[in-house]
Structure 1
Amino acid sequence: MTIHSLYIYDRHCVCVYYQDWHRTKGPRPAAAAGGILPAVSPAVYPRQEEPTLESASTYSSPRNTLTSSSGVVVAINDEPRTPLPPQMQTSATQSQNPSSILTFDEEAKLVYGVVLSLRNMVRKLSGKDEQFVNYKTSSYKLHLYETLSGYKFVMLSDPNADSLRFVLRQIYSGPFLEYVVRNPLMKMDSREHGIDNEYFRMSTDRMIRGLTVFQ
């Protein structure tokens, strides 16, 4: 059993914090045009791609053996390329094309949409006294803890893990209140900036790694 990731949403339905541990596929950076708030997580903030040698060079050559500025030989390969088998071509295309993985802003919206839909369904079917706390699929288990101020702590774990709602409550009552709510330099309820800071991230990481379910 293990823990995959943690999302925190504010009352405006915006993801303001993200952290992951055991993910088979890392999240793609969010879209550059306002896809995600800054300081949510360094791993998901939009990054500008560095220009490659082909795009930076103005020398038009099908083999790209020379640079336009220096004329230094970069690569020479006169041997014909051997085509890959169809199976290897398919796997290579999938590994080089990450379009099958959602960008983080789309992923965060989907996670919140699932939480909101299931929470509303539970309230309509069971009344206001019942609360949606978790659900399980064959691949993962989602845990939810919602505060009175409207913040939603969402955690994805192994499907065989027990309820981790108490862990989310401990994150809220411990590191979140200490390093976010009581931090005079932290802007709460902001639509322009996330809530990430070094002490909160380190304290949350230490707490999660100390759980028996984390191993």
Structure 2
Amino acid sequence: MTIYSFYIFDRHCSCIYSREYTHTTPGNGRTNVNNESDVAKLLFGTLYSLKTLSLKLDDSQSLNSLRSFSTGAYRVHFFESLSNFKFVLITDLAVETLQTQLQQLYGVVFVNNVIMNALSPVEFGSAKITNDSFVRLADNFLRLLPVFE
């Protein structure tokens, strides 16, 4: 089991944070390289379409009716906050849902280091999350998960 990548989208559909994990090298991946790539745009489009479909099929109209979906090669885990920040983890197929871990990542790491940070922009626009403490704490949080290998 392993985590391949982690994305955060803001309420304007912009990828404000991306992190790829390479489990073979000590540096362990790249940060904010794929924010403007077609991968991030296609991922957001897929999530938007599936979320819209799941809301139409779900009578409860809950915000997080879409939790994860899988393809033949990977599983995508999804969490959306009340402020419309979307957290996405891409893992291998053997990983069960990580909804509660994404909620914890949002509530503990993101809120304390990005939302409560006076130097962070209120509207990101073309800005990206480059806060070193957020990057370090998010990496540490994900590395401590039993699925991170």
* Aligned match for 2:50, one of 118, 133, 155: 118
Contact kept in structure 2, 1:2 and 1:22, CA below 8 Å:
no
**What are the superposed Cα offsets for residues 5-24 of structure 1, whole Å, 9 maximum, x if unpaired?**
01100000000001121479
Partner SS state of residue 212, structure 1: coil
Structure of larger gyration radius: 1
CA distance in structure 2 between the aligned counterparts of 1:108 and 1:116, rounded to whole angstroms: 12
Partner of 2:103: 169
* Aligned match for 1:131, one of 48, 65, 85: 65
Q: Could you list the structure 1 runs, at least 4 aligned residues long, displaced by more than 2 angstroms after superposition.
A: none
Partner of 2:40: 108
Residues 156 and 105 (structure 1), Cα distance of their counterparts in 2 relative to 1, 3 Å cut: same
Taking structure 1 as the reference length, the TM-score comes to 0.62
Contact kept in structure 2, 1:5 and 1:23, CA below 8 Å:
no
Partner of 1:4: 4
Contact kept in structure 2, 1:187 and 1:195, CA below 8 Å:
no
Please list, as runs of the form range in 1=range in 2, the aligned pairs for 1:64-103 lying within 5 A after superposition. none
Residue 186 (1) aligns with residue 120 (2): yes
One-letter code aligned to 1:194? K
Contact kept in structure 1, 2:6 and 2:90, CA below 8 Å:
yes
Deviation of 1:185 after TM superposition, in Å, equals 0.7
One-letter code aligned to 1:106? D
Residues 23 and 140 (structure 1), Cα distance of their counterparts in 2 relative to 1, 3 Å cut: farther
Deviation of 1:189 after TM superposition, in Å, equals 1.7
One-letter code aligned to 2:19? Q
Partner of 1:20: 20
CA distance in structure 2 between the aligned counterparts of 1:143 and 1:202, rounded to whole angstroms: 21
Number of equivalences: 141
Deviation of 1:168 after TM superposition, in Å, equals 1.0
Deviation of 1:137 after TM superposition, in Å, equals 1.6
Between stretches 136-145 and 126-135, larger displacement belongs to: 126-135
Deviation of 1:138 after TM superposition, in Å, equals 1.7
One-letter code aligned to 2:111? L
* Aligned match for 1:153, one of 87, 102, 113: 87
Deviation of 1:44 after TM superposition, in Å, equals 4.0
Contact kept in structure 1, 2:4 and 2:90, CA below 8 Å:
yes
How well do the aligned residues superpose, as a CA RMSD in angstroms? Answer: 1.9
Q: Percent identity?
A: 33
Partner of 2:146: 212
Higher strand proportion, which one? 2
Q: Structure 2: 5+ residue runs without aligned partners? A: 25-30
Q: Structure 1: 5+ residue runs without aligned partners? A: 25-39, 46-103
